[in-house]
Structure 1
Amino acid sequence: MRTYGIYKIKETYQDFVLGRERLLYDLLSADGSDTHLNEVRYLCDRLEIGAIENAIMKQLGKNFHTIDRGDMKYTLTHPLKGTIDVGFSSHALHATCHGSRMLDLDLFVALSSAEDRYFAVMDESSEWGWLKPIRTSDHVLSAGCLLAQ
């Protein structure tokens, strides 16, 4: 079982966060505490649940045989891969994957098709990262400058 908190970083702060992902992980992994709630609200957009539901249904609906919908909760079941439980809070999507790691990839692809600013945190194993790699000309240039030195 793997549990993720997935956050949509505000576009304004996305460039600032690049290269500081470890600090973002430290902040988001403590999201449950009241001391960090204002910081999470400051850096992360409120989730557009309708857009997320559409992405989930469009991308995953055709491959998962069973989709149970509840009050802002989903359970998606694939006969070979396993089950994904999805729930929402104001600034985070909470997903629990039971089964193959391919479930995680399926969910990440579905979400990144809707938006490219999602950042995932899996606190149990201290893993974090962008669901979709970020490419900007500034970072390509600075990486090129580092290689030239």
Structure 2
Amino acid sequence: MRRYHIYLIKEEFAEHFFGQEHKLFDLFSEARISSPHSEVAKRQSSFVIGKIDTISVNHLIMKNLKRKSDYSVLGNAHVLYGDAPKNFAKCTVKENVIELEASGSFEAETTFFETLRKHTSFFLAMDYEHERYGWLNPIKQRTYM
């Protein structure tokens, strides 16, 4: 099972840390564990995270996926089922994080990623178990001449 935590990074921090996502990953990883430094890391990570407009994100997901026959809403979670029994992805939108659990093929989770990237360029996904992370929609770098 793959588990992603998707954070809305405030624009000024997203632009600053573009290309240095590993620093944000290290900070958020430190905030998740119990250690002498974790309280500081929790405060720092909460400072760079923006609040997610849960109503508009839930509406966006429903609007984009409602025509799919394999889409359903279970409680406060959006679920996409694949063609095989073990293929699925479940997305739960919270105020500080979007949690995405997926199993089987990557098709269902990719559908959620593609939908979420339409909302903003500043979503950063992290898979702590497999130590993977990245922007859902890479930020365009400004070019100066």
TM-score computed with the length of structure 1 as normaliser: 0.81
2:10 is matched with 10
The percentage of aligned residue pairs carrying the same residue is 23
Segments of structure 2 that go 5 or more residues without pairing to the other structure are none
| Equivalent residue for 2:54, pick from 46, 49, 54 | 49
2:78 is matched with 74
Q: How big is the shift at 1:123? A: 1.2
Q: How big is the shift at 1:68? A: 2.5
Segments of structure 1 that go 5 or more residues without pairing to the other structure are 143-149
In structure 2, relative to structure 1, the CA distance for the partners of 1:59 and 1:8 (3 Å cut) is: same
Structure with the higher fraction of residues in helix conformation = 1
Alignment pair present for 1:96 and 2:112? no
Once superposed, what is the RMSD of the aligned Cα atoms? 2.2
2:132 is matched with 127
> C-alpha separation between the residues in 2 aligned to 1:42 and 1:89?
17
1:105 is matched with 110
Residue identity in the other structure for 2:89: I
Q: How big is the shift at 1:37? A: 2.4
Equivalences, count: 139
| Equivalent residue for 2:141, pick from 97, 113, 136 | 136
In structure 2, relative to structure 1, the CA distance for the partners of 1:20 and 1:103 (3 Å cut) is: same
